[in-house]
Amino acid sequence: MLIFITIATFLSTLLGGLIALRFKDKLHLVLGFSAGAIIAVAFFEMLPEAIELGGSVYNASLITSMMGLGFLIYLVLDRMIILHSHAEENGGHSIQKGFLGAGSLSFHSFLDGVAIGLAFQVSTAVGLVIATAVLVHDFSDGINTANLVLKNGGSVKMATRWVATDALAPVLGVLSTSFFTLSSTTLALFLAIFSGFFFYIGAVDLLPESHHRHPTILTTVMTIIGMAVLYGVIKIAG
């Protein structure tokens, strides 16, 4: 099953990138849905699962603090990338800015793959829920990767290469987890940190981007639908 999910993450990112190369007018709706889905997984699956796994050793306060730490880690990394991007932009290197952004997306796609692999170490149900969220997220990652390269002066050929790189990244992330296993209490901490990552990606990255040029009611509705759909998936998965 994990092999099929790994292939699906590759195809999801690739499909998102190809759609971004062809369609632009409706992408804000996809991003809005993705934001809701990612936030839902952080709050309704990853954090509760981390509290349950680590409950015998850690109190809930520590687990939620680890979520906050994950949020801050991603914030610092994101701000460092943004600052570097502005420096590149001010120096007239717009294409390099696009490459830097695409590279950072590829790196966190790798982390998405690690999250899937670690989630399956917890249980198949948890793995499937997080994989579902990552599939949605990777689709938007493919879109963002293509857009970053194109809007900063890159060619369609360059954008296609970066989309392919981003599509391969979660595959490598999943495969990397086959070389190590973690105890349930350690997994609890990692899940909490990853929930902070997911919350940042959904609330700070995807959500504002979905409303950047299209602050419509429909975009907000898509975000609510995204949360509702993933909430339903989580409840069905038990």
Q: What is the pLDDT of residues 183-200, one digit of tens each?
A: 888 888 988 998 898 898
Range of the domain at 94: 2-20+27-237
Rounded to two decimals, the pTM is 0.68
pLDDT band at 122 (very low <50, low <70, confident <90, very high): confident
- The residue that leads in pLDDT, 29 or 50, is 50
The count of domains in the chain is 1
Supply the mean pLDDT for the chain.
Answer: 78
What is the three-state SS of the chain? CHHHHHHHHHHHHHHHHHHHHHCCCCHHHHHHHHHHHHHHHHHHHHHHHHHHHHCCCCCHHHHHHHHHHHHHHHHHHHHHHHHHHHHHHHCCCHHHHHHHHHHHHHHHHHHHHHHHHHHHHHCHHHHHHHHHHHHHHHHHHHHHHHHHHHHCCCCHHHHHHHHHHHHHHHHHHHHHHHHCCCCHHHHHHHHHHHHHHHHHHHHHHHHHHHHCCCCCHHHHHHHHHHHHHHHHHHHHHC
- The residue that leads in pLDDT, 82 or 13, is 13
State residue 170's pLDDT score.
85
